Structure 1
Amino acid sequence: MKFIIQRDQLIASVQDVMKAISSRTAIPILTGMKIEARSNGITLTGSDSDISIESHIPTEEDGIVNIEDIEEGSIVLQAKYFPDIVRKLPEKTIEIESDSNLKVTIRSGKAEFNLNGQDAEEYPQLPKLQSDDSFKIPTDLLKSLIKQTVFAVSTMETRPILTGVNLKLENGKLNFTATDSHRLASREIPISGSSNEFPSIVVPGKSLNELYKILDDTEENVEISVTNNQILFRTKHLYFLSRLLDGNYPETSRLIPEQSKTVLQVKTKELLHTIDRASLLAKEERNSVVKLSTMGNELLEITGNSPEVGRVVEEISVQSIEGEELKISFSSKYMLDALKAIENDEVKIEFTGAMRPFIIRPANNDPILQLILPVRTY
C-alpha cells in the first residue's frame, strides 16, 4: 500500500475516526485505526464495538486533488501514536507506505517515521446496513434534534435504557425523547417523502454526543437507516454506526399533563439569566434549588437560598401570567438546561400545581417540549 495525501485532509478524517477508538476494548486490534487505500480514495475506520466510524477521503473532489500515487492495500496502525505523528509532521503532504511485512513508513519533508502495522484482514468487518428502508434529514436539523434532547439522558447505569435517546418514526413524524426520570426533553419534526416507519428504538446518548461533534453545520442531508440492533448515519464522506440499547423505553406520553392551572409567557434570556444568578447562592445544595413565585402585575419572584451562605431575591417581569397563584421549587440546573435547549426568544411555561411536573415550550408552538419535576422544599 502506498499513497501521498494532503495533511489537512488526513488530520480532519483522523480526528473524526478517533472518536470511536477506545484504549479499553476487549479486542486488541480495535485499539488501532484501519487505513484502506483504493483508487477512488482512502478510507479510515475506527470502532469500539459500540460505535464505528468510517471516514472517506476521495482522490479528487471539486477539481482538487487530495491523494496521489495510490497503490491499493490496507493496514491497521496504532491509534495511540498515528494521530500525533500526523498532526506534527512538517510539510503539507504526507507519504504513507507499507510493505509485505506490515512495516509502515510515514514521510513528510525530512521527517520519517517507521511504525509496526497490523494485518487489516484481522480487523472486524463492519456490518453493511441495507439502505432500502432509510430516510433523510438535513444535517443541521439532526444536530438541533440531538442538542435539544440528549442532555436529558440519565448518567446512571442503574436503568441503562434511560442513558439513551428514544427515536420513533411514525405517520411521517420523527420524534426524539430523552428522560432521566426527573426531567424530559422531546422534539418532533415532519419527515417528508419517506414511507418507512420504526416504532421505538433507543440510541445511546454517548453515541449521539459523538455524532453531534463530527457532523458539520450544513444543510446537506444525512441518510439514516435502522436495523434490529444498529443505526447508521451516513453523509457524503462519513459512515457512523451505533449499536442500539436493548429493552423497552418507558411510555413517556402519560407524564405530560393534559391541562394547566398557571401559564406564563416570558423572555427566555431574561429568565435564564435570573435563574442563573439565583443559583449562585444555592450551590451548596445537591440540585441548586431555586424557588419561583408569581406576584401578580405580571411579576415573578425568583429566590435562591442557602442557610449557611445567604439569600438572593430577584423580580422579573413577564409577558403574561394566567391562572392561579403559584409557588414552586425546582433544580436550577435542569431549568437552565431546558431554557438553553429551546432556541426561541420567548417561552411558555405551564404549571399544574406546586408538586406536579411542569412544561416549557417555545412561545411559537414549535413542537419542542421540556418537562421538569419540581423539588419538595420544607
Structure 2
Amino acid sequence: MMKFDIVRDRLLDGLNDVMKAVSSKAAIPILTGIKIDVTEEGLRLTGSDSDITIQSFIPAEEDGEQIIRVIEPGSIVLQAKFFNEIIRKLPTNDVVIEVTGHLQTHIRSGKSEFHLIGSDADEYPLLPQVEEDRKFSIPGDLLKSIIRETVFAVSSSESRPVLTGVNWQVAEGELICTATDSHRLARRKTSLENLAGEYTAVIPGKSLQELSKILVDGSTPVDIVLANQQVLFKSGNVLFFSRLLEGNYPDTSRLIPSEYKTNVTVNGKTLLQAIDRASLLAREDRYNIVKFSTDEGKVVEISSNSPEIGKVEEQIEAIEVDGEELKISFSAKYMMDALKAIDGQDVVIQFTGSMRPFILKSAHDDAIIQLILPVRTY
C-alpha cells in the first residue's frame, strides 16, 4: 500500500536521471523497472543495469514549497519504459500515484487514469555498499571536462576489457586520468586539494559518458568515493554508482617520448578544420588517413589522396616550426578527436620521426596530453 501526490515536472527530472541506467536487455528481469520508495522525507527513484546504478532523491519540501504530499509511505517497482512515457504525457502537472492490493498501481492526472501492474520492491537488488575511506570532491564542470578530454580514447573492443575504461590514478595530490585503445592515448592531470593516499581504479568509459549527461553545469562539487569494486559519484540529490573494471591497467607513462626531433606550434582550430577538409576524400578508407608534412619555414602541408576519388592539399601557416623536416601519416579521426579535447587553443605537436608516436598538448600547459600512433603509408 502506498499513496502520494507529486509535481510532475520534478518527477520527470528524477526519471530523466535514473532512466540512463535502465537497460531493456537487463539480465535480471526486475531491472527493466524503476524502484520507487516513498517516505515522509520524500521520494527515491532507483534505476540499474547492474553495471551502473543511479538513485535520485526528490525532497517532499524544498525552499518552503511542497513538492510531494505523502499520504501513505511505501515502495513499488514499475516498468521503466511505460512509467516514464506515461508521466511524460500526462495532461496536468499534478500526479497522484496509489498502490492498492496485488501491486496494482494507479496513476491519475486531470481526467486521465492509468493502471499498471508493479513488482515487489523487496526483489529489487540492494544498492552497492561503498566504504567512504577514499573520498575526494571535484567541481562538476571540471569533472565534465576531464571526462570529455579522456573518454573518447577508450577501446571499444572487449578483447582487453580493462582498456574499455579510463584509469584514474591518485598520487601526490594529483588525479591522473588516462585512456588508451593502444592506437592513441589521452591523459589529463588535475591537482586537487583534498587528495590523500595513492590508489588507482579503472572506471568503464560507458559509465563516465552516462555520468557526464546527468552532471549539471556549474562548479557544484561532486563527491567521489572509490571502493574496491565500485565508484560512487554524489551530485546534489543524485547518487551514481558504477562497477569498476578488473585487471591491471598497462603502465602508459613509458609510452610518452621524452625527446623530440620536430616541434610544430599551430592554432588548434585552424588545424582541425584543415584536417576535417582533407578527410573528406579519405573517408572511404578504414583509417581515413591524412598526410602531414613540414619543410623550410613555417608552412605545414595537410594532404590526402584516394586513388579512385581524387586528392586534396592544403597549406597552413604554423606559429612556429623547429627541428627536422617531417612527413607523417595518421588517422584523421584520431587527430580530430585529440584536437577537440584540447579545444581550439594553440597546440604544440611534438614528433620523434615519421614512424614513432607523437604527442599533442596545449601551448599553455601540459595538463592534457594526447598521443597518437602514426600509420605507415607507402
TM-score bucket (shorter structure): over 0.9
- Report the counterpart of residue 252 of structure 1 in structure 2: 252
How far off is 1:67 after superposition?
1.2
- How big is the shift at 1:322? 0.8
Structure 2 letter corresponding to 1:88: K
Alignment correspondent of 1:44? 45
1:164-313 equivalences under 5 Å are 164-198=165-199, 200-313=200-313
Q: How does 1:122-133 map to 2 (within 5 A)?
A: 122-133=123-134
Q: Secondary structure at the match of 1:148?
A: helix
The SS at the match of 1:274 is: helix
1: distance between equivalents of 2:327 and 2:318? 16
Q: CA–CA distance in 2 between the matches of 1:366 and 1:100?
A: 62
In the alignment, residue 152 of structure 1 is paired with which amino acid? Answer: A
Alpha-carbon separation, structure 2, partners of 1:233 and 1:12: 18
Q: Is the 8 A contact 2:291 2:302 kept in 1?
A: yes
How far off is 1:343 after superposition? 2.6
Amino acid at match of 1:311: K
Distance 1:193 1:30 in 2: 36
> Partner residue of 2:348?
348
Partner of 2:21: 20
- What is the Cα-based RMSD across aligned positions, in Å? 1.0
Which 5+ residue runs of structure 1 have no aligned equivalent? none
CA distance in 2, matches of 1:129, 1:51: 14
Deviation string for 1:222-280 (max 9, x for gaps)? Answer: 11111111111011201000001110001101110011000011111100000000000
Task: Write the letter of the residue equivalent to 1:372.
Answer: I
- The equivalent residue for 1:158 is 159
Tell me the CA shift for residue 195 of structure 1: 2.3
Q: State TM-score, norm by structure 1.
A: 0.98
Verify: 1:73 aligned to 2:60, yes or no: no
Q: CA deviation at 1:295?
A: 2.6
Shift of 1:99: 1.6
Q: 1:110-163 deviations in whole A, cap 9, x for unaligned?
A: 000011011101111112313243111101111100000000001011111111
Give the deviation of 1:63 after TM superposition.
Answer: 2.7
Taking a change above 3 Å as real, the CA distance of residues 311 and 368 of structure 1, as seen in their structure-2 partners, is same
- Deviation per CA, 1:187-228, whole angstroms, max 9, x where unpaired? 010110332431x21111111110011111121111111111
CA 1:188 to 1:43, structure 2 compared with 1: closer, same or farther past 3 Å?
A: same
In 2, Cα distance between equivalents of 1:21 and 1:249: 28
Distance 2:368 2:62 in 1: 38
Q: Aligned residues: percent identity?
A: 57
Aligned-partner Cα distance in 2 for 1:289–1:66: 56
After TM superposition, which residue ranges in structure 1, 4 or more long, deviate above 2 angstroms? 62-65, 130-133, 193-197
User: 1:106-121 to 2 correspondence within 5 Å?
Assistant: 106-121=107-122
Query: What is the CA-CA distance between 1:344 and the residue it aligns to?
Result: 4.7
**2 CA distance for matches of 1:116 and 1:184?**
49
Q: More displaced, 213-222 or 324-333?
A: 213-222
CA displacement at 1:296 relative to structure 2 = 2.1
Please report the TM-score for the alignment, with normalisation by the length of structure 2.
Answer: 0.98
- Aligned-partner residue type, residue 175 of structure 2: L
2:105 alignment partner in structure 1: 104
**Which residue of 1 is the match for residue 364 of structure 2?**
364
Residue 339 (structure 1) shift: 0.3
Separation (CA, whole Å) in 2 of partners of 1:366 and 1:60: 46
SS across alignment from 2:258: coil
Partner amino acid for 1:300? V
8 Å contact kept, 2:45–2:55: yes
Paired residue type of 1:210:
E
In structure 2, the gaps of 5 or more residues are none
Query: How many Å separate the matches in 2 of 1:329 and 1:321?
Result: 18
How many residues are aligned here? Answer: 377
Q: CA deviation at 1:366?
A: 3.8
Alpha-carbon deviations, 1:338-371, whole Å to 9, x = none? 0001135200100000000000000101410000
CA contact (8 A) 1:145 1:187 kept: yes
Q: Distance in 2 between matches of 1:40 and 1:196?
A: 36
Q: Equivalent residue for 2:315?
A: 315
SS in structure 1 of the partner of residue 102 of structure 2: coil
Q: Structure 2: how far apart are the matches of 1:270 and 1:238?
A: 40
* Alignment-derived partner of residue 4 in structure 2: 3
Change (3 A) 1:69 1:201: closer
State the alpha-carbon separation in 2 of the partners of residues 165 and 345 from structure 1.
Answer: 24
Counterpart of 2:283 in 1: which secondary structure? coil
Q: Is 1:137–1:221's contact at 8 Å kept on the other side of the alignment?
A: yes
Q: Using the alignment, how far apart are the partners of 1:301 and 1:72 within structure 2?
A: 69
3-state DSSP class of the match of 1:80?
A: helix
Contact 1:39 1:59 in 2 (8 A): yes
In 1, the alpha carbon distance for the partners of 2:377 and 2:27 equals: 47
1:37/1:70 contact within 8 Å kept = no
Does 2:51 correspond to 1:88? no
2:55 corresponds in structure 1 to: 54
| Distance in 2 between residues matched to 1:213 and 1:366, nearest whole Å | 26
Distance 1:314 1:26 in 2: 52
